[in-house]
Structure 1
Amino acid sequence: MADWILVPCLVQLRTEFNRIAPDRDTTTDGSIGDTAHQNTVSDHNPDETGAVPIRDADSINEVHAVDVDVDLRVPGLTMERVVQFLLGRCRSGAENRLRYIIYNKRIWQASNGWAQQSYSGASPHTAHAHFSASYETAREASTASWHLEELVALTDAEIERIAARVEQRVWNHTEPNPYDNGATNRRMGGDLRMMEYRDDQRALATNVTRLDNQVIPMLKQTLALVSQLAGEPSATEPMIAVAVLSGMPPAVIAAAIPPELAKEVVSELMTRIR
């Protein structure tokens, strides 16, 4: 028999089965037909050298059918789910690369709008599902995703549940205490909280330093200017608390106070901060 290939679109379909069910049983997988298929018209036969229902436009010897074993070995993932998922995409028009599907004594065909019909062929197709592809060149050659990964995608609720369990495991995880040679254990959650506390303390220290270096000198200068206008000695440390005068350059604040009111302002401020 001449060399042959499985049409690329079905190679992609089989690849996605392997991806979502990496440990699946492949006992009844198949593509090219056995002797029984070779003696009948079948999509399992190569289209250039065998008996097929359609001859496509190219000269590549291609097989247009693939069988996939039903035992996917993934909890909650069944061949029935996969078949119904693909049928949904075919019926909606999202998928057009299949001609028909046979599975568990049923057949669905593109030619009748993918309506379910009973199948009474020699094989009931209970051990595997049969997928036949289009003979149109662009469709059979397409390796676009069949989107089977959507069947095993996590729901939002599952993601939240997993995140909660991971968080609990992390916070409750213990390690030997390095400060007493492992005589006791330290809980990861406690260490993380201590790290957060230390980060907060460092941030506070940074802000205090900025206050010391920038804000307080400005306030001292402001109070000194006001005191000069009033004929009072330079402001003392308690007067730094007069933060109401900040927000404007010291010279502007001082210049805005009339000389005749300066002493009154200083006296009032001194009274309030004592």
Structure 2
Amino acid sequence: MTQSNALRHRAEAEASRLPPLLARADHLAGTVLLGDHGRRRAGMGDDFWQYRPAQIGDSRRMIDHRRSARGDHQFVREREWQIAQSVMLWVDQGASMRFSSDTHLETKADRARLLGLGIAILLVRGGERVGLTGTALPPRRGKAQIMRLAESFSVDSDEDYAPPEHRAMIPHARALFISDFMGDMSEVRLALTKAADRGVRGVLMQVLDPSEEQFPFRGRTIFESVGGSLRHETLKANDLRDRYLDRLHERREELSQLCRLTGWHYGMHHTGDSAQSALLWLYRALDRGTS
């Protein structure tokens, strides 16, 4: 297979996931939205914050004509409460997320994408801007933004453990990071520290497969990372169980402590549990981050 054909095959495979992902996320958001009121609020204040270039989805009345008259581009005058209604998402696309211990279970990546897109739908329906951390997809409103997010979430990374993206954090906005957080903790600390320095508060959700909590391995076992960069063979896997579970507990405590120090909320979710309950928790946790 030539390189161009391989790229096309991969692109078609990724594109084929979009309709099911969008349909599932929309249905999931609908189950949570029932009985809940919209998230529109007067905001934190009406003080001027900044001018920004007008984006698709902005209404004409938002245009500041005096500022726009100085050049060839249209600008929007943002107030402090509008900044607070911007939410930035990072959903781990690393190879470690493409793990499932059972054919009847979703991979961690599929569950993370579902939750990330589900919360985006809820937020956009509530009148908020949603985008990605970094510069690729700034926060916006509208159905077209949901499609862009779905496309971004469907692209896998070649890295075993993808580091959190922390560039271009909007001051005093909110953020959501979804990952198994099994990689280098220094990257997570850097991301949350930078976010806290800019007044960004948010939610960190750790998604794990049930087997990663139980460690049900015995006898001769070969452990290999999904990306293939790490490999370990042992004749007595059961001898590793206690040490592994201790390390996992330490990682969870480290994540929880980091969130407490930076003003974030920490949550844990297993792929064998209800996606609806996880989405509802995320929805409420992000709302608590505005107080």
The answer to which structure, 1 or 2, has the higher relative contact order (CA under 8 A, 6+ apart) is 2
User: TM-score by structure 1 length?
Assistant: 0.23
- Larger proportion of strand: 2
User: TM-score by structure 2 length?
Assistant: 0.22
